[in-house]
Chain A
Amino acid sequence: MKTYFRATDPYPLEASDWNKLHGFYDALAAGRLVSTRCDGCGHVAWPPRGFCPECASDRYTWVDLPAEGRIHGFTVQHAGLPAGFTGARVFAIVKVDTHRIFSVIIDADPSTVSIGQRVTLAPIRVDDDPKGNARWLPAFRPA
């Protein structure tokens, strides 16, 4: 029997065949953090979005965000993680410019992570999608 695994694949489909906002992932693969700026009112969103909640425009331009921020809050999960994820895992809210970005902190001893700590963008490559396209997520690591 052929194995179908979308139902237990934890990652989004990022490629242009599936995702109108694939530009985010294209930039991330190149090491850049970008988001959408609304063409109607100039509102810069996080996360990127295809519809502006302020002015209801669906036109946007990709803009670069700083690839650096500070830890605004974090927790270390030791147990009870979903299939495919292992602890200890540092989940954090990272303040980048005025945006609050939810992410994970990698390459850090969890006991040394602290509020206010400077972190930089660290794109992580995760499992390819079912069509073999590379996939990336926007993680952060200590600066």
Chain B
Amino acid sequence: MRKVALVGAGVSKFGVRKATYRDLIWEAGKACFDSVPGVRPKDLDGLVVGSVMPERTAFQSHISSLAAEALGIRPSTLSARTEHMCASGTVGIRYAYAFIAAGLADLVMVLGVEKLNQPQGEEAILNMGTGVDREWEAAFGLTAPPCFALAAQRHMAEYGTTEQHFGLVGVKNHTHASKNPNAHFQKGATLDQVLGSRMIASPLRLFMCSPITDGAAAVIVASEERARALTDRPVWIRGTGQALDGFQLTSLHEDYAHWPALKRAGEAAYRMAGLEPKDVDVAEVHDCFAIAEIIAYEELGFCKKGEGGAFVEAGRSDYGGDVVVNPRGGLMGCGHPLGATGVAQAAEVWAQLRGEAGARQVPDAAVGVTHNNSGMGEHVVMIYGRE
């Protein structure tokens, strides 16, 4: 297999955007091309677009071709859309990686885009129900918050994790987002604010949840030969893993505080990279809800099972700790435009490993992890390393 690297990355402003689906594609595409001087749209040979629900939010299918035309990309080796709910972006990066590693493509953009906000807010939430089983789950009004609330309750009962621990994840990620001009939220948050915010699904409060957000992100993935010609600081894809426990809530591990698929996906990625959790300097994990970040610490091996609450409380997931988790602000601070999230995580690690993350820079970051999930039972992990 050939070595594969990220050579460029760019992110649109995330938020409730006064913009169309195509406007967001242009914004992320522009930012991404600006990051790699010398690469024009027609130099790319492939495009993969991660996008979950443009059929509902923009009444639009045929997404990869739309984005290729919008950006002036003329795919000659690979053109595809990935849909894997909240992990669609990272699943797209894996496709580009595999094509390039196999020698089937050389220079591929992976773009994630979502325009979730609608003129009527409740409709945006109704649309989120497409991510769970329509007949046996969404028909009852289920969306993500109650699923993760069940995990939070189990974690509290089993390990003594507290609302304050969840609150500290919210404070950390909102604080990080305050240093990210592209984040949905930039005002930070205090523990009192987080713990005093309104209850969404017990025990998860508003500031322990990611919001409904519009946004797009793009990265350019390259073969070793192309990467070396384009930049002196390529960010190598060193490992990747994906694993699934199940789709329906009742198909997952009976104890929702345990996410075996995340553990397996992480182990596969570490094995491929020849690295261990202690080697990781920076991690972008899928904090769609505060409990998810706490379980991610554990299943990714940053701490022992059950110690995720204490890990955040001791500052071990923040600057100066063991591993800086979610320096861009995570899904809670940046927002979660589904298909764009995994790509934006990769863009952050790309900037961090090149030393270009500005006020958010993790000192001397050499190894970065991204973790993207679609529900509690489906996980994708990427490991990146600098030269």
Binding site for B on A (CB under 8 A): 7-8, 10-12, 46-47, 73-85, 89, 91, 93, 99-104, 126, 137, 139
A83's partner among B56, B125, B135 (CB-CB below 8 A) is B125
Complex A-B: 28 CB contacts under 8 Å? A7-B56, A8-B126, A10-B126, A10-B134, A10-B138, A10-B141, A46-B250, A73-B150, A74-B150, A75-B149, A78-B201, A78-B202, A80-B200, A81-B141, A81-B143, A82-B122, A82-B138, A82-B143, A83-B123, A84-B141, A85-B141, A91-B201, A93-B150, A100-B250, A102-B136, A102-B250, A137-B139, A139-B140
Q: Quick check: B250 and A101 within 8 Å, CB to CB?
A: yes
Q: Quick check: A73 and B200 within 8 Å, CB to CB?
A: no
Tell me the complex Cα distance, A82–B137, Å. 13
Binding site for A on B (CB under 8 A): 56, 120, 122-123, 125-126, 128-129, 134-143, 145-146, 149-150, 153-154, 198-202, 206, 209, 248-250, 254, 256
> Which residues on B sit within 8 Å (CB–CB) of A47?
135-136, 248
The minimal Cβ–Cβ distance linking A139 to chain B, given in whole angstroms, is: 8
Q: Quick check: A102 and B143 within 8 Å, CB to CB?
A: no
> Which residues on B sit within 8 Å (CB–CB) of A7?
56
Q: Quick check: B201 and A76 within 8 Å, CB to CB?
A: yes
The minimal Cβ–Cβ distance linking A86 to chain B, given in whole angstroms, is: 9
B128's partner among A12, A82, A93, A139 (CB-CB below 8 A) is A82
Tell me the complex Cα distance, A82–B126, Å. 4
Residue in A closest to B146 when the chains form the complex, CB atoms: A91
Tell me the complex Cα distance, A46–B249, Å. 12
The minimal Cβ–Cβ distance linking A106 to chain B, given in whole angstroms, is: 10
B250's partner among A10, A81, A85, A93 (CB-CB below 8 A) is A93
A12's partner among B125, B134, B248 (CB-CB below 8 A) is B134
A77's partner among B122, B200, B206, B254 (CB-CB below 8 A) is B200
Tell me the complex Cα distance, A81–B128, Å. 10
Q: Which 8 A-B pairs have the closest CB atoms?
A: A85-B141, A83-B122, A75-B149, A82-B126, A100-B250, A12-B135, A91-B146, A77-B201
> Which residues on A sit within 8 Å (CB–CB) of B125?
80-83
> Which residues on B sit within 8 Å (CB–CB) of A81?
125, 141, 143
B140's partner among A8, A75, A79, A103 (CB-CB below 8 A) is A103
With A82-B128, A84-B126, A91-B146 as contacts: A73 and B137 at CB distance below 8 Å: no
For the A-B complex with A80-B125, A80-B143, A104-B140 known, give 8 more contacts whose Cβ atoms are closer than 8 Å: A75-B150, A77-B146, A78-B202, A79-B199, A84-B122, A85-B141, A91-B201, A101-B250
The minimal Cβ–Cβ distance linking B57 to chain A, given in whole angstroms, is: 11
Tell me the complex Cα distance, A103–B134, Å. 13
> Which residues on A sit within 8 Å (CB–CB) of B250?
46, 93, 99-102
With A75-B153, A82-B129, A101-B250 as contacts: A91 and B123 at CB distance below 8 Å: no
With A77-B145, A79-B200, A82-B128 as contacts: A102 and B135 at CB distance below 8 Å: no
